[in-house]
Structure 1
Amino acid sequence: MTHDAIIARSFGRFKQKKLVHGAFVACSFLVLSFCAVFSFRPYLGPSSIFVENTMAKQKQQRNSTIFQGASSSKSDQLMAQNVTKQREPPCHVMDLRSDFYNITGEVRIHAKSSTVFIPFPEKRNLFRGYKSWKIRPYARNKDSRAMNHVREWSVIPAFSDAKVPQCTQNHTIASILFSTGGYAGNHFHDFSDIIIPLYLTSRPFNGKVQFLISDYRSWWATKFRAILQNLSHYPIIKIDQEDVHCFPSIIMGLQRHGELTIDPSKSPYTMRDFREFLRSTYSLKRRNAVRLRHGDTRKLRLLVISRKRTRSFINSTNIAETAESMGFEVIVAEADIHVARFAEIVNSCDVVMGIHGAGLTNVLFLPEGAVMIQVVPLGGVELVAKTYFGLPSKEMSIRYLEYKIGTKESTLTEQFPLDHMALKNPYSFHRCNLEAFKSVYLDKQNVTINVRRFKTTLLKALELLHE
């Protein structure tokens, strides 16, 4: 997924008689591109680039202040005015991708009612007029499909101890409440929606923070146990099943900067820091990919990420043989729930190739300077493919190559004649219908690579890894 923000098109000079026709074609193209980005979100990774960028500009114009608290009475008054204008609680940190509340002062978490009480707000005047507000603590708040699977929590500022439940367990450290609902279970979303945002939110605590997981899934916690234990020194609390836990502060929700990315302008951390954290967590040996010199006899390792059910390589053996004839040492493997095992495999390689999908998220474990080759299938997924792996790869110091398959390389030719709209014009065929798109282009499409044509991409990978 390479991530050139939004499409821009310029028009050439047409003869006056063709001007109307040209404008119509251009507008149609933009509409179809828009549909492709927004309609396929649950399966390709929800793409909210256009919406987020537009809303960012609007919010920047409306709101000039982001606040969590203040130290003087004058700043208190200013913040109170902002609260009135924005109608957001004063602990709300405005984020275009996730709801994120940083509440300091004693908080009491009543799991049975999914409520966080603030019995003694530090800035009482700022909470006046706010009986409660709600949050779903999953970092993809513009995606209703994801949020339908996330438990909703209420936050209630109370000014009398009688209004709040009594503590059954007291804690002396800060807490972070987040959900493993939403799209958890999809490897891309595991990292883009939860792991990277959790790293951003919890890293400043240096492990001295308690994780409270809502919509808890034991298999998810097992899958990412090593990461969770490296970010927090304390056992996870399955908060949905608990009584009343009291903390000196709580962060509700996680910060997310974008798809598989960290914006250094918004954080003291970078994707390079995060990848270093992953190397440490999984004890990965290689920091840098091989750089061949003239006459070097070492072989570059190429990993072909296979898929069994859909969007798989039909001729992975031919791909491997072709690559080996060019001097590569080839490994064909499929990612699974054993993150540590596959991370070690990926880290041992210099080039990784795979069809657009969640398995390519494992490029996070590649050594710096390695090459990723994303194979883009039919269906009009080019923009989404570039969005989710292209730009992030640059921030990871990974070299990115893209191979767009030809019509005859898709197994869809076995289902449709070559002149069928499904092959000639995918946008017109599915007309932004999610189920039609998913059924044909995601669930029923595999790829038979034209190895002669693909050789050019492999040669480019070799060039990038030579000094």
Structure 2
Amino acid sequence: MLYDSILARSFSKHEQKKMGYGALMGCLFIAFSFSIMLKPHLGRHFLALNLRLFPRASGIKMADIITKKPTPACNWMDWTDFCDIDMNVRIHGESSSVMFASTDMEEHLERNSTWKIKPYARKQDANAMKNTREWSVKAAKSPQKLPQCTQNHSVPAILFSLGGYAGNHFHDFTDVIIPLFITARKFNGEVQFLITDSKSWWVLKYQAILSKLSNYDIIYIDKEAQVLCFPHVIVGLKRDPKELSIDSNNHSFSMKDFKEFLRSSYSLNRGRAMENRGRGRGRKKWEIKPRLLIVARRKTRSFTNTGEIIKMAKKLGFQVIVTEPDANLKKVAETVNSCDVMMGVHGAGLTNIVFLPERSVFIQIVPFGGAEWVSTRFFGEPSKDMELKYLGYDISLKESTLIQQYPKEHVVLRDPVAIQKQGWSAFKSIYFDNQNVKLDINRFRPTLLKALELLHHSS
């Protein structure tokens, strides 16, 4: 108020208005000048602050926000970590180092020039990550501070690990094969695979898949003494959180596309159940006997009355095949793809549902002891994304061989939840590692009848 009264006494209203307009224009001009001069400086500080406040924000391309130039995009998710570096990258295997030069974020690089990453897509599992080698992704301010290239490559590279649980058939697909498909698909084969924690037998087993995704011989990077240079490197594999699945909302493809990729990799003929079975003599599709695959297991969770199951299934009109999957994946894929129904007790062998034709029926036998949650999560829900018809069969206590190992009132039989509370190791050692199954033929019969019904309705 004081300043208003002094101004009114000194100048007329017209003069006050002219001065006001002039002051406003002057302020605008000064603000504009300062914004032009300080834009790069403020931008870098804003970005560094953003990264400090939100270091795990998915999808942030660090300097792209300001400069629109290529910089590393390191994504820290709950289930996987990966860094996508679209610039001149140098890799030294013996020191587990991935190096690149960037001058776009000098102030940020002073604070954080190294990222640590274990390139195996199950980061929430501490046991898996114990068996995974850690790599350093390092940024230098200038190319002069990087080691000299001794081997140059013209295509991008993907660096991933065969540590963790690789070697278990389920984890091979959900932790490695499917994430590798998600990560590598966009390159159409023009990508170099760099494997850490290598297992040559693993590569041999999945050679048909690997060679379909990459046109180049695999490099086992751990003991590589040379400095390998690439125009673009992805360290780690992209993965969706759901087991054995691809979320089509996150990608331009789905599990259906992945299954078509597998059929192409192994030259599988059948895309749909009850097709390509050679009807002959004018028989209609419903007259063809559906083929039932019983997945056998030797050591644990095995069927103790397989003969009775086969006999009952044949009476219902099935052709029956019994097999235990082995390392010959091409043979396994061909066998599974030739069938219309697949059944087995929960276990890694059920991962082979990826080779079933669409609209096939998948029957999962769930062991006694409250294993429904893990059975549904690992195979039940994923099978639906593969366009399979899913049937879960929970065995009764009378169908479990545990009744032969424990007294009737033992906590293992009476209260499985109490065992679950002791932790995964205790639960697994009893209900997975020491239990076999003797199916009650009369109780299981309606499940096979339901499978027949689903086949006929989907054909």
What TM-score range do you get, normalising by the shorter chain?
0.7 to 0.9
User: Among 86, 101, 105, which residue is 2:87 paired with?
Assistant: 105
* 1:225 Cα deviation from its structure 2 partner: 0.4
What letter is aligned with 2:209?
A: I
Distance 1:93 1:75 in 2: 22
* 1:77 Cα deviation from its structure 2 partner: 7.1
Residue 362 of structure 1 aligns with which residue?
Answer: 352
Pick closer, same or farther for the CA change 1:125–1:273 going to 2, 3 Å.
Answer: farther
Is 1:87 aligned with 2:69?
no
Kindly report which structure 2 residues correspond to 1:41-440, keeping only aligned pairs within 5 A, or say none. 79-87=47-55, 90=62, 91-120=73-102, 124=106, 126-242=108-224, 243-257=226-240, 258-290=242-274, 296-429=286-419, 431-440=421-430
- SS of the residue 1:219 aligns to: helix
Aligned 8 A contact 2:336 2:353 in 1: yes
Residue 16 of structure 1 aligns with which residue?
Answer: none
Pick closer, same or farther for the CA change 1:344–1:294 going to 2, 3 Å.
Answer: closer
Aligned 8 A contact 2:274 2:285 in 1: no
Aligned 8 A contact 1:304 1:331 in 2: yes
Distance 2:178 2:52 in 1: 33
85-94 or 341-350, larger mean C-alpha shift: 85-94
What letter is aligned with 1:252?
A: V
Residue 58 of structure 1 aligns with which residue?
Answer: none
Gaps in structure 2 of 5+ consecutive residues = 1-38, 63-72
Q: TM-score, normalised by structure 2?
A: 0.82
Gaps in structure 1 of 5+ consecutive residues = 1-71
Deviations 1:130-187 (A, max 9, x none): 1312000000111111000000001110124453322111111111100010000111
Pick closer, same or farther for the CA change 1:354–1:121 going to 2, 3 Å.
Answer: farther
88-97 or 136-145, larger mean C-alpha shift: 88-97
Deviations 1:192-222 (A, max 9, x none): 0000000000000001111110000001101
Aligned 8 A contact 1:174 1:250 in 2: yes
Taking only aligned residues, the RMSD between alpha carbons, in angstroms, comes to 2.1
Residue 443 of structure 1 aligns with which residue?
Answer: 433
Deviations 1:273-300 (A, max 9, x none): 0000000000001011018999932100
Deviations 1:56-107 (A, max 9, x none): xxxxxxxxxxxxxxxx979877654432322358321243310011011111
Distance 1:124 1:279 in 2: 49
Bigger relative contact order, structure 1 or 2, given CA contacts below 8 A and separation 6+? 1
What letter is aligned with 1:375?
A: I
433-442 or 357-366, larger mean C-alpha shift: 433-442
* 1:252 Cα deviation from its structure 2 partner: 0.7
* 1:126 Cα deviation from its structure 2 partner: 5.0
- SS of the residue 1:394 aligns to: helix
Pick closer, same or farther for the CA change 1:462–1:75 going to 2, 3 Å.
Answer: farther
Residue 13 of structure 1 aligns with which residue?
Answer: none
Aligned 8 A contact 1:105 1:122 in 2: no
What letter is aligned with 2:170?
A: F
Distance 1:75 1:207 in 2: 38
What letter is aligned with 2:348?
A: A
Percent identity for Structure 1 against Structure 2: 50
Pick closer, same or farther for the CA change 1:153–1:142 going to 2, 3 Å.
Answer: same
* 1:430 Cα deviation from its structure 2 partner: 5.1
- SS of the residue 1:387 aligns to: helix
Deviations 1:4-39 (A, max 9, x none): xxxxxxxxxxxxxxxxxxxxxxxxxxxxxxxxxxxx
Residue 34 of structure 1 aligns with which residue?
Answer: none
Aligned 8 A contact 2:366 2:394 in 1: yes
- SS of the residue 1:240 aligns to: coil
Distance 2:318 2:440 in 1: 18
* 1:433 Cα deviation from its structure 2 partner: 3.2
What letter is aligned with 1:246?
A: C
What letter is aligned with 1:276?
A: E
Aligned 8 A contact 1:121 1:157 in 2: no
* 1:420 Cα deviation from its structure 2 partner: 1.6
What letter is aligned with 1:247?
A: F
Pick closer, same or farther for the CA change 1:271–1:77 going to 2, 3 Å.
Answer: farther
- SS of the residue 1:296 aligns to: helix
* 1:438 Cα deviation from its structure 2 partner: 2.5
- Highest Rg: 1 or 2? 2
Q: TM-score, normalised by structure 1?
A: 0.81
